[in-house]
Amino acid sequence: MDLFELTQRLMNIPSTSGEEEAVGYWLRDHLQSLGWSVELQKVSENQNNVIATLNDAPRVWFSTHMDTVPPFIPPTEDDQKIYGRGACDAKGIIAAQITAAERLRAEGVTDIGLLYTVEEERSSTGAKAVNLHPLAAKCEYMINGEPTDNDLAIGSKGSFRLMIKTCGKAAHSAYPEQGDSAIETLLDILNDIRQTRFQHDGFFGETTVNIGTIEGGLALNIIPPRAEAGLLIRLTTKREPIEQALINVVRGRAEIEVLSCSEPVKMMPVEGFNQKVVRFTTDIPHMPNWGRPLLLGPGSILVAHTKDEFVLKKDLKEAVGLYEHLAKKLLSPTV
Ligand SMILES: [Zn+2]
């Protein structure tokens, strides 16, 4: 099965976060048919990480995630591109890594592992589970794949997800002095957050805030007793100073509920590769036991998570060579 066919076979199996069971079984069967030892690590009732090896304890691993964002978009292709859900995030990457690993094996290199996680697009429960796997201790380098346009990412921003919740007092809307609008309080707080300049970092860049969701109120003729907004802050510093700044802005007017946090990560630079900092986060912060992390993959993050997701065939091919070269370099005694 060639690289493009493998990409499309993987894309044809829907695997929105929470529904990765079928693609995990398919990958297990495929890798076993190629001669890999494959373990399914149970993460939940119907979610399994896929862990494949050629020897007892590989030093270099390729990894990415099997889940995609919704909705499922079946693959199509033309001369230059493969389109559809997972083309670049991250089924094309799985295909490129397997192809690179098979090439390495053909050259006699067996010190390679493959690790495919569930749930990366939501809460990284797959990565958190595999972080405790015994093979982690033997891993020296983990080459994670996300769409970096085939550049080597040497830094990725963190992600701090939280809710701001306000409480007011319901009243007849004709008598606003009898109530207290939770929506107006929330709007004031959100406006203050928009005016705030959060701490930045010279290496990772700007800390940015997305007010991603907003909800509240009961009816047009009721002063709203409740409102909430969901924020995702792209961290370039540790969580603490940003959380403190937020508490200072909110000044007791709302409850801050933290949903999750992953801090920014520095990754290993390697000579001979284009290097850059990426703004998105990955499974890497949740897998500290898996050696030194590296991050590289074909495709653009700007089309990932969109209805127009695609990957250039030439980028997929190039990624195979880059993964192969990177693994060899890491396995060579001079690194
Ligand atoms: Zn991804």
Residues in CB range of 168: below 8 A, 6 or more apart: 179, 180, 181, 182, 183, 184, 185, 223, 224, 225, 226, 227
3-state SS of the chain is CCHHHHHHHHHCCCCECCCCHHHHHHHHHHHHHHCCEEEEEEEECCEEEEEEECCCCCCEEEEEECCECCCCCCCEECCCEEECCCCCCCHHHHHHHHHHHHHHHHCCCCCEEEEEECCCCCCCHHHHHHCCCHHHHHCCEEEECCCCCCCEEEEECEEEEEEEEEECECCECCCHHHCECHHHHHHHHHHHHHHCCCCCECCCECCEEEEEEEEECCCCCECCCEEEEEEEEEECCCHHHHHHHHHHHHCCCCEEEEEEEECCEECCCCCCCCEEEECCCCCHHHCCCCCEEEECCCCCCCCCCCCCCEEEHHHHHHHHHHHHHHHHHHHCCCC
Q: What is the pTM of this model?
A: 0.91
How far is Cα 85 from Cα 73, in angstroms, rounded to an integer?
A: 5
Ligand 1 centre to CA of 252 (Å) is 36
pLDDT at 182: 98
β-pairing verdict for 152-156 and 275-278: parallel
Terminal Cα-to-Cα distance of the chain (whole angstroms): 33
Cα-to-centroid distance, 90 and ligand 1 (Å): 5
In sequence order, the β-bridge partners of residue 255 are 165
pLDDT of amino acid 184: 98
User: What's the pLDDT score for residue 1?
Assistant: 87
What pLDDT sits at residue 179?
Answer: 98
| Residue 281, pLDDT score | 92
Task: Give me 317's structure tokens.
Answer: 């091919």
Q: What is the dihedral of CA 168, 173, 176, 178, to 10 degrees?
A: -70
Catalytic: 263? no
- Please tell me the distance between residue 301's alpha carbon and the centre of ligand 1 in angstroms: 8
Q: How many angstroms is it from 32 CA to the middle of ligand 1?
A: 25
Nearest to 170 by CA among 227, 228, 222: 222
Q: Reply yes or no: is the peptide bond before residue 90 cis, omega within 30 of 0.
A: yes
pLDDT value for 335: 60
Q: How far is the CA of 176 from the centre of ligand 1 (A)?
A: 47
Sheet holding 76-77, edge to edge: 76-77, 81-83, 310-312
Ligand 1 midpoint to CA 281 (Å) = 9
Residue 97: per-residue pLDDT: 98
- What pLDDT does 145 receive? 98
Residues near 332 by Cβ (< 8 Å), separated by ≥ 6? none
| Centroid of ligand 1 to alpha carbon of 186 (angstroms) | 32
Which residue of the set 120, 121, 146, 309 is catalytic? 120
Q: Give the pLDDT of the chain (335 residues) as one tens digit per residue.
A: 899 999 999 999 999 999 999 999 999 999 999 999 999 999 999 999 999 999 999 999 999 999 999 999 999 999 999 999 999 999 999 999 999 999 999 999 999 999 999 999 998 999 999 999 999 999 999 999 999 999 999 999 999 999 999 999 999 999 999 999 999 999 999 999 999 999 999 999 999 999 999 999 999 999 999 999 999 999 999 999 999 999 999 999 999 999 999 999 999 999 999 999 999 999 999 999 999 999 999 999 999 999 999 999 999 999 999 999 999 999 997 76
Interval between CA 184 and ligand 1 midpoint (Å):
37
Distance of CA 232 to the CA centre of its chain: 14
